[in-house]
A and B are shown apart, each in its own frame.
Chain A
């Protein structure tokens, strides 16, 4: 109990998440047997990171950074705009479609939010959208990135929970596209009431083809990566390293705008982005070990099961718990601390590991944009200088739509698992 209090206390007073986790974990070890137990901490950190597939995340981030540097974002947005730009709220719709295109290049929602926050939000503002609405659309679309593969979160989840990363990737494609469609429907439904701009006439086929040709190199990347992983030809780590090579070749030989200096900056930035996340994972491993040594996951699981024996109710409880905790908790912490507690429960109610995985990951992704604490909200707020409260208000319809979609996915395994089953997972 006191370990939990220490953690909460430190979090509330603004301690870095990794430090709050590490100190709480250390205090737990101390409580068990003084320095003798505390000396386990470094080995927990080391073993928490000593996992080969973890390599895939920094590589995917680096490949995304390089692709972004080549100016691919604006090409993808242009393609999206030529496809759906003529509808009411055309640029908002394009934002969603571009998120799907961009998702194959990036594996993280915050990267998507940052890239679009810098480019699309100002463009939308210029066309007459409110800044808050532009940010809300970007936030809602940003979680498509880590739902459609590659996805850093799936890499970590798969590695920790022993679930096939390729299988998770295959499972994520449909929900990602569904998020896009749900959000597009919401934009269309509220467009008239909100008086969203409608200006472009439909792009001619020639323009669509031209934009398609200009972004084909970016669109090919996910196909190469996914094809390789999903068909089991390469491992996720190998695929991620191939993605880096592909991005490097395109940046150097096709777009000619990749300098050594820029590459150096990108490599350092990638390592630092990964370090923030992996330090949290390492520190959470200390606390995670303490939790499992004291059989706390089992206790929580038992108490949830005792509430109801109906699988549907248990699933409802799990998702509600994730969404509630997700409002205030970092998703990496949730992944490491909560997955070992909740995933065995899903097995007990007969959910398939891939289905449980995608539900878990989608819930975490949604929590990236739930106020008060959502990483995507923070990124958009700081990139565009918009108040979080304002974004959150405009985000509400999208949030409700996405949560409903999450429940639909949770309760219809056969639809979600169709593609992975087809591919033999």
Chain B
């Protein structure tokens, strides 16, 4: 995007690439884990007990880890039925407001999730007897990352807004963003 925000866009994309790599590694681990489970149950009968628990926690990490990628790629779906009928400028302003709310939501859940994770330190998982914090941490970490990506997306939108509306109209009051 040839915007003044291109540095933002670049950072967003770099972060997204690293993020996607994590997602791919986690998902691959997840598949391998379930395959081990299948082989165990039907072929080797090692009676492994940890397969299911591990799979559940890796899945939560893998899936939630993909949430920031969707945020960066603007893939979280919403309705456009009403907003697309509004004047262009109002449309963009609504988009900015929703973008800000999205960031706030992600960061707030990340903040609440931090406390949730700390609480998990005193609980242990059924099979591994590991602190639940390791699993619970998926919520604050991924929501924080989503908040960051949401922020990058918001800044991109602010630049686009400024460019398209300050250049176009004379009576533009100066956008206080």
Contacts and interface: CB of A to CB of B under 8 A. Distances in A.
Interface of A: 10-20, 22-23, 26, 38-39, 41-43, 45-46, 49-52, 54-55, 58-59, 62, 234, 237-238, 241-242, 244-245, 264, 267-268, 270-272, 274-276, 278-279, 282, 328, 330, 372-373
B69 A268 contact: yes
Contacts of B112: 38-39, 41-42
B35 A279 contact: no
A276 B73 CA distance: 11
A54 B109 contact: no
A373 B139 contact: no
24 contacts: A10-B98, A13-B83, A15-B78, A20-B78, A22-B109, A23-B105, A39-B116, A42-B136, A42-B139, A46-B60, A49-B63, A49-B64, A51-B56, A55-B34, A59-B31, A59-B34, A234-B42, A241-B35, A241-B38, A267-B28, A268-B23, A268-B69, A270-B27, A275-B70
A270 B113 CA distance: 26
Given A58-B63, A234-B38, A267-B28, A272 B105 contact: no
A11 B78 contact: yes
B67 A49 contact: no
Closest 8 CB pairs of A and B: A16-B76, A275-B66, A42-B113, A42-B116, A271-B66, A241-B34, A14-B83, A42-B139
B59 A49 contact: yes
B135 A271 contact: no
A237 B37 CA distance: 10
A264 B76 contact: no
A275 B109 CA distance: 17
A49 B23 CA distance: 17
Interface residues of B, number: 55
A14 to B, nearest CB: 4
A276 B77 CA distance: 8
Contacts of B102: 15-16, 19
B95 interface: yes
A88 B105 CA distance: 54
A365 to B, nearest CB: 17
Given A15-B102, A238-B41, A58 B27 contact: yes
A238 B37 contact: yes
Most A CB contacts (10 A, CB to CB) among B64, B78, B116 go to B78
A244 B32 CA distance: 11
Interface in B15-67: 20, 23-24, 26-28, 30-31, 34-35, 37-38, 41-42, 52, 55-56, 59-60, 62-67
A14 B78 contact: yes
A12 B94 CA distance: 11
Given A23-B105, A242-B38, A271 B62 contact: yes
A279 B112 CA distance: 17
Contacts of B69: 268, 271-272, 275
B75 interface: yes
